[in-house]
Structure 1
Amino acid sequence: MRSIEQIEKDITLTRMLAFGVYSLAMKKKKKVVSTVALLSCEYNGLEYTVALAGDKAPALYKKVFKILAK
């Protein structure tokens, strides 16, 4: 699970590699931190993925893994 903030840091690093020193002058987006939990499963030969975003996503993610660990 990765936060959107972590993904944006990767994008900033990519921007720095692509534009060098000029990337420092580029306008950046407002910092918004939210977490996304991705849950995937396969049922009847089809794969399903659900993206859940919000403040409770990390807690949900932990609960799902506790259930799966049993």
Structure 2
Amino acid sequence: MKAADNAIGGIQQAIDAIARNQTRGRSWAELIPNRRDVLDFQAQARAGNVTKVHAKVELDMQGQPVGEIVTARW
């Protein structure tokens, strides 16, 4: 839940930054289209319907996310 809360906050910051012609980081801006999925995850987690979370992230040599951000429903 904390990660989802952080994601929603980061996405909102990216939306606000874009509105001001600023940037808030590539990964948050790229997650904007997935905002609804994150909100859905939060609702399902609060309802007790989430038992596992599996994530795959590719990092560059500096530890920054690289590649495409993908969400999938199981």
Q: Same fold judged by TM-score > 0.5?
A: no
Q: Which protein has the larger Cα radius of gyration, Structure 1 or Structure 2?
A: 1
TM-score computed with the length of structure 1 as normaliser: 0.29
More strand by share: 1
TM-score computed with the length of structure 2 as normaliser: 0.28
